[in-house]
Structure 1
Amino acid sequence: MVDGRAIVGKIDNAVVVVRSGPPPSEPTRGRSPVSLFWRIFLLNAAVFTAATAFLIFAPITVPVSFMLPEALILGAGLVIMLTANAVLLRVGLAPLRRLVKAMTTTDLLRPGPRPAVTGHAGIADLIQTFNTMLDRLEAERALSTARALSAQEAERRRVAQELHDEVGQSLTAVLLELKRVKDHAPESMREELRQVQETTRDSLDEIRRIARRLRPGVLEELGLISALKALTSEVAGSARLTVQRKFDTDLPDLDDEAELVLYRVAQESITNTARHARANRLEVSLRRVGTGVLLRLRDDGVGLGDASEGAGMRGMRERALLVGADLSIAGHPTGGTEVRLHLPIRDRRAPR
């Protein structure tokens, strides 16, 4: 079950929770504060201590000549047994501790290495089952994310088309009607009508900008580089932001899905910079790195600070996982924020 906070699975009738966010800071209510190691150790220690006490104080087993040296020898033997018990338990339960750590830190938006399958048969089987559950959950999440993003893009196209065809044409008709009225209006009213025309024209331009952001037609018609250039030029003009662009000309072939992910990540990053970063300069680069591509955006703004990731950043991570890309969002050492998206190219290219 995936609910945005935790993912629940079953391992040998035991419920395992894999969180999709940071682990809780407070301990779970009702959970014993004594670890499994200490429970087993204390139980064994109680058994050893009882056996030693029985040997010392039982009249049947202790000779008449029992003296302090014999008691010291038994005490030393008890200490040695307890130490050996502690060492063996610590070694035997080490894989289980690693599994518990993986359970509490696993985040499906930031996939990491699986816990090593080590330990005795029971613990090894538990770790292997946990890894299999993670693989299944990540596959199911990727499938559901792909469906959700596909539906989202379809809805964006529909809304953009309606804005362009319905609202855009209506505002164009209003502009034409205002021009006709202005030409026949008295001189005293022409200035007011001109202001109404300007307001209507600005609204029409804004509707067109919204439609372009919802459905990047230039991406479908002219490709990724042209779409990124148009995006940065639009933001630079509206946000008074100096944009430095660097795009390699020998980029590998990308399928439509990969290009859309790169464009949407760049769009979200640039929008965040323009709205929240209070930056003056933005660097946008798209380079070929080995057999893949690297999209990098860096600004000189206020940085992330202590702000938590919002829906926009989570959406970027989900899109990156959709195409098997690695996304990092972090503050730059010299200030500002840096977003890096590395997309390896696999044999999944579709004909264009």
Structure 2
Amino acid sequence: MTQESTRKQAAPMSEAAFTLLVQGVLDYGIFMLDPRGHIISWNAGAERIKGYRAEDIVGQHFSVFYPPEDQASGKPQWELETAVAEGRLEDEGWRVRKDGSRFWANVVITALWDEAGVLRGFGKVTRDMSERRAAQHALSERRRLFNHLVQAQETERRRIAWDVHDDSIQAMVAVAMRLELLAERVPESYTAELHRLDASVREAIDRLRSLTFRLHPPGIDRHGLIEGLASHLDDVVGAAWGMAYTFEHQLDHEPAPETAITIFRIVQEALLNVHKHARGSRVDVHVASADGGIVTRVVDDGTGEPMSRDGARDHFGIIEMRERAETAGGWWSMHSRPGTGTTVEFWLPNPRPVPATTSEPAEGAP
């Protein structure tokens, strides 16, 4: 048997195999239209997605799959014309099943031409994207709730900071002033004790002022993540704690305010743990875009001992860092070894802002 005769015998088998493949695909609706848009073939995937059996739909115009508003606007015909002009068209939008329910579909229409350049029809591939779209909506809803949570937390922090500053601190400052006056009027035997009380009150005032700063540090909500972190490192780590530090950052774009605040709060807690426990002289902070989000590392050169060894509050700080990251849809980890320091690393998603779109009917709406 010659090679040519073998090829001629194999060709019909290959065509039959291809037809069998297309007809058996279940995840995609694959069918053909004639040049005017009438359905001339139908596969199992199209039946599963759209609900029509082949005998019910072949011969009908494909516009039956479009919602009434798209039919009225002439969208089906426009899609065919675009496919003819450009060779193909890809679209996502609502489509209608046989029972009248809607589903979100990805559609590709390809113009089919014969060897003479005559339009023979269109190939149409439809994929049901309802589950993916529902997942995207669930993610958007989670993001919305996360944003509300962060905003509520920050509002409460500001309220507490103002209350402490305007009430508690001012009251204690008044007590300190009265102790000073009293120390000048009482017998000398009481003076030393009053000075000790005065010193204790002033230490408490300093701690409260530090608390108000941690509750609501200036800058993060006005100047963005990078400037807020730089200011915090300079004012607190460098000036107040006297530690050496480096700060590196490579961001594709500024994160949303809620994401920036979450990153700032986790870094703030990690730095506080370094100051309280690491007994090191240096800390390095690195912030960079990665994998559609922002990865942040806080590395110290301290003892590498567990940060939670001094009690429940420190353990709570570690839980708080992890929960903040996970609530934002990210992850958090801490690695430490004695003598080599500790690394706190976490990642938060940082999607680019999406322009607002018009509202769409609910999935499954008739």
TM-score normalized by the length of structure 2: 0.48
Which protein has the bigger strand share? 2
In the superposition, the TM-score normalised over structure 1's length comes to 0.49
